[in-house]
Amino acid sequence: MTKLFLLLTASMMLVVFGSASKTQTTVSATPVARTAAQNYARYCVSCHGRDGKSQTSKGKFSHARDLTDAKWQDDVTDERIYNSIMNGRNVRGNMPGFKNKLKDKDAEALVDIVRKFRN
């Protein structure tokens, strides 16, 4: 009787703890949606800075674009900004592309943030 009780208890613990770990794995595997501001902070601030002026050491080294430059803002299209975010640019500086890290809607939201930096 004692052996049966121990066997049942061990089986129940295995079921309970085994299913809990599967639930945790499933929950942590779900991607987290980020706001445009969070994406800017995560992917852009290190070069373009919080103010968009690209005065960070990494921004100066990589010749990152000053996003507050009114003339540039007037000349550039939303499509070009979007393409730069997704595919990167290697003309004036060396900007990596983020198409493997951002969805289309996330990049479009970043275009809106870039436009808000205009002086």
Return the domain boundaries, the chain. Answer: 36-116
Q: Specify the pLDDT at position 113.
A: 97
**Interatomic CA distance for residues 87 and 40, integer angstroms:** 16
Residues with Cβ within 8 Å of 118's Cβ and at least 6 positions away in sequence, in order, are 68, 70, 73
pLDDT computed for residue 4 by the predictor? 46
Confidence (pLDDT) at 90: 87
Burial of 65 per CB tally in 10 Å (0-12, 13-18, 19+):
buried
C-alpha 60 chain-centroid distance: 22
pLDDT at 21: 45
pLDDT for res 97 = 96
The angle formed by the CA atoms of residues 92, 42 and 67, to the nearest 5 degrees, is 35
Question: Mean pLDDT of residues grouped by 10 in the chain (119 residues)?
Answer: 51 49 45 88 97 96 95 97 95 88 97 94
DSSP-assigned letter for residue 117: T
How far apart CA 119 and CA 3 sit, in angstroms, is 78
Q: Which pLDDT value is given to residue 119?
A: 76
Topology of domain 36-116 in CATH is Cytochrome Bc1 Complex; Chain D, domain 2 (1.10.760)
Predicted TM-score (pTM) of the model is 0.71
> Looking at residue 80, what is its pLDDT?
97
